[in-house]
Structure 1
Amino acid sequence: METTKTGSNFAPLSRDAMHDLFGESAAPLADKPPLSINGLWESGAFGGGSVCNHQTTEDPNLTLTGTIDMSSPWVAAMAGNLWVKVLDDGVEIGRFRITEGTGFWEFDLPSPLSLGEHHLTVQLGDSPVSNAFDITEIPHVPVEVPDIAPTITHVVDAPNHDVGQDGATGNTRPLLIGNAAPGSWVTIMDGATVLGKVKAGLGGTWMFTDNDYRSALGDGPHHLAAVSDSGNASAAYDFNIDTTPPPIPAPEITYVVDGPNHDLNHGTTDNTRPLLIGTAAPSSWVTIMDGTTILGKVKAGPGGAWMFTDNDYRSALGDGTHHLSAVSDSGNVSAVYDFNVATTPVQQPTPQIDYVFDAQGYNLGQGGTTVDTHPRVMGHGAAPNSWVTIKDGEIELGKVQADSAGNWTLDTYAASLGDGPHHLVAVSADGNASAPFDINVHVIAAPVIDHAYGETGGVETAIGADGKTDDRHPRLEGSAEPNSWVTIRDGLVEIGRVQADDKGHWVLNSSDYKVDLSNGAHHLVAVSDSHTNSAPVDFTVDTTPPAEAPFFIGAQAGDDQIFLYNTDKTDETRLTFFGKGAEPGATVTIMEDGHVIGTAKASPTGAWMFAYDAAVTDGFHHFTAQVGDGPVSKPFDVAVATAEPHIITVYDSNIGGYYNHDGISTTDSTPRFTGEGPKGSVVTLIDVDSGKVLGTTTVNTQGLWSIEPSLGPGEHHLRVEADNGKVSSTDFDIRIESTPSASSQAEGHSLSDVLAAGEGDLFATDHGHDNAMLSVHDVEPTTEGMAVNGSNAPTHDVSTLNANLVLPHEQAHTHAVM
């Protein structure tokens, strides 16, 4: 590590750091200072000990220590140039540079440190400042401990169990924890009774343990307070002590099990020693009784559970009804558990299937057809309270218990019925089977919700999984069985019903909704008439306009990690925009010059990113963002300039005409050069030979520029450069003559000469302004030049058969063709 008093250049945010700024998992940089102060250490002359925050010291030679979060985006932003400023009351007193990657740092404060109070902080670049460390430098005198009122912060009666204010406990010596002045004595009071004393540590924390009590606390309410030696008392900590043990619970028989995983449930069994399971007071003995007969005893475990197994029986149970109870040693008796033992097999009656109903309540009848894969099966004729098994051939569909009259109903299936014929039978516990009940099942494939679209601000956008929309009637699209009906449900509420076309495609439009979707979360499924459901589509409806508009952070130009800010210029045509300020999950609509160009989904932090997939044309562009019908963001302006600048004409004021090619000679030492360039860019006219800048101007919104330099006699090779880095592909050569040359004179053709042959094809339009528009047709030029005056530049190629000329009134009929 090194320290210095000199300044340093702090690097701008890198692309990765900027990504952290709006990434879904990153917190805003401003919320997370990368540095923290951990302590302050005295020199060896004063023992080399630490100085606590808000304390005093007599040592003028101090060392400040702390840590740096090397994973902080601010550290990444500094790109290894980790200069740290040390501030005292906001004033920089020194700097040091972190060159190691351990995350720890130290800094020797300027010596000697002046007497008085010091408010120390550190700061990395322009990041938020660290936590403050306050000390007071005093002369070499003993440090006085301030007298502050102590506090009781915790009353603990068992490990990790805090007795809250006004709580209750059975512990008569609970642990007390609190704070006081460092090194001071604290007296613990219960009302006017002194319970004991304890000394606070150097950090001010004290603990009053069971050994510190003069006597145990008795049953009833207690009002504890901590009092300093000067009489400052804490707020009272009230709680109640109750050492009366809770009453012993009566035992209970919860299960009688006559086979693996089979609860007898007060039924009949042939097991003469069934397993009994129950509860009682922890570690207590339980006597099992059958009426007045003792069957045996068992001890409950530490948790109160007990099991009475076949080995615990004094004798087996005989055939007939039994009335079992569990009795504790204190005489508490459980409720009676009745069941029957029958070791002689009893012939069970044969159950019958009477009806099969589909989910619509339709009675199928023998040989009926349904789309329901779980139809309700009803019957009678079973033994009272016996179990009936319903089978489809050899496949068990489910089990159901008959009522006391032998009637039964199967609603819950262990397996669904597949497509095709089925032969249902009901089987008793001893294997008696009913006559088969035949039905056919035609399974309709489950429908699918493929897409959900919400209309936001007149633009329809897809609602992604767990997305958000302000549309109460989003359009749904999906697939189903051809020509089948599909019901759309939101939970248990039907919101619409549509029919698929002959290709199985269906659409639920806004007009098909039976109800409006309310604000909040929605869980939509598509249900077929055979009650097969689609996978759910979850999204949130939020019609509340956002209180604030989203905003742009900047844009990345092309693939070169060039980051643009508002009003910046670029020669890249591919832009990716970054912004924040949207509600989490909201759809952000991005517009260019008022026209929608796309949408983006906001992250959980409200950040959003939009990659414009179209090439941005040359010129000024105004981008805005909006969420729903909320406020529109401030414009984010970008100037795109990709074109190469060049000269297209030279105006010679001596002859009042234009040249549209180089290699000319003129006596006009201030010719006016007109050209084209990237809209909004700055172009510079340069004399190549001397390197002299002849003029600078800004290209207008039509892509034109004009510069009128002062040129000396002789040859000049001119070049045009634009601030987008583009340079004219060829030099423009011009010669300035001190006297007119023959080649530079007008060829003597007046405008009337040029137009005489085409007089019948000349049309003039006077709009009452400064210029008149003349259209000439069927004129066959004999030169490459063209004379035009006025505000409009001439066309590039004058060898066409048609030409438009814009002439000022006062200069009409005075121009010559060059």
Structure 2
Amino acid sequence: AGVWNLTATATDAAGNTSAASEIRSFTIDTTAPAAPVIDTVYDGTGPITGNLSSGQITDEARPVISGTREANTAIRLYDNGTLLAEIPADNSNSWRYTPDASLATGNHVITVIAVDAAGNASPVSDSVNFVVDTTPPLTPVITSVSDDQAPGLGTIANGQNTNDPTPTFSGTAEAGATITLYENGTVIGTTTAQPDGAWSVATSTLASGTHVITAVATDAAGNSSPNSTAFTLTVDTTAPQTPILTSVVDDVAGGVTGNLANGQITNDNRPTLNGTAEAGSVISIYDGNTLLGVTSANAGGAWSFTPTTGLNDGTRTLTVTATDPAGNVSPATSGFTIVVDTLAPTVPLITSIVDDVPNNTGAIGNGQSTNDTQPTLNGTAEANSAVSIFDNGALVATVNANASGNWSWTPTSALGQGSHAYSVSAADAAGNVSAASPSTTIIVDTIAPGAPGNLVINATGNRVTGTAEAGSTVTITSETGVVLGTATADGTGSFTATLTPAQTNGQPLLAFAQDKAGNTGIAAGFTAPDTRVPEAPIITNVVDDVGIYTGAIANGQVTNDAQPTLNGTAQAGATVSIYNNGALLGTTTANASGNWSFTPTGNLTEGSHAFTATATNAN
């Protein structure tokens, strides 16, 4: 090796040597140049540009390959062992190559060697490999868009409103592809598809309004897919106005029906709420913090809601919110309070029915008679409840129990004769009605019984028998009203009364009956036996009423009247026996004044007639 300067001479056969030739110089070089280096493989195409790392995939089919070499060496570039190009030598230490034609799709292992002017070849450089991929990935698919902004959580339909300014897009694409979300050419989100192709990414914050969003998949080589089908959504983060609760309606009979006032008691545990709100908004009805249910405002903004399950008894505070299609929630309405009471009051009681009409006054027993056509009913019930009073099943009055639960009622008009079965029920302020009380029956009777009859007093004057209205009380009195005895007529009307003291002087007596209702009938008079010996009767005159000479006949006088009338006096009520010449002629009875009169029923015979009289008292 080294520089060689050569000349030549010619020597003929005779041994003569010519002059030397011109000097010819050359260098002998048998030393191979150093191995060149591949510094970079540059991708300048598509969304992914820059220097490729060894093994990288690229969509660049004509990458720029560059490196360093020994000056004045030519570079031979090999692709998968096949000479791809030869780069002439120059005096620089760098080299650069861009393929004239696109490289084939697939793996490319690039190596280079340097060849010096002597033709010495360097060792092969370290290889650089990359994969050319110019096939775009499949178009990605947006499978769902979700809203995670309360309260409208869940899937957003294409074209729907949302209150989530950063909704999450999910879909499928080529495994490992970079997914880029675009809106009008602006990137609003990127992510990488998982090995199974699934991807999910939240957008950057979107302004209020309508957004048309597409997804593009870019593979590792930088090839981009066509745009996905556009997904349209409208971001709305403005809450609707507070809805208006216009009425809460009770439609359960009893108590208040119709519109309830704030704070009112109701027996309707499923009242209907009505109101207005933003058209199309979802109306949420709350009892305190508990959601009762939802309904929707119609195109005119009107809404109505009835709970499907009854509210619990007690104070219920109802509020309403409106949620627009984007999921924005309005402020809640002011609380509307109702007091739900579905518990019927305890059964009220009739504690007494009072008769204040003589003769039987005071409490009337169940089934008892009374002569009071306006008796007073008293009882107890739930405090301040409305007590309904029924007579034989018909409502006749309603009164209010006081704060202590007591109530009282007197009919304003006279009750009819007969049986009156009273019962009561109580209605509380909510309109709940109790069960009916047990009935209490009274019998109104204002008809006085008749006078006792068939009165018989025994000879000793201490017992009176007779008949009167069955069940009535018979009272025996003197003429002056002194009670001598009482008895109760049995079921057949018969009675026996014992008199104290015994009446044996022929006194006038009275008997009257009082029925169970206290009505007193007219009295019947009768006379006590008279056990006294009566005084002798007196014949005061004998009267002739026949012929010319009439009038009193003097003792011993002659008369033409064969049936003269004898008059006299005796003990009142006594039986007067008239004798003619000692023979009984007939009898008569002295009246209450003691006067008596007798006329023979047949003609007296001609002759003298001596009249006498005796008296026998009634007993």
Report which structure shows greater RCO (CA 8 Å, sep ≥6).
2
Same fold (TM over 0.5): no
**TM tier, smaller:** 0.3 to 0.5
The TM-score, its normalising length taken from structure 2, stands at 0.33
Structure with more of its chain in helix, by fraction: 1
The TM-score, its normalising length taken from structure 1, stands at 0.27
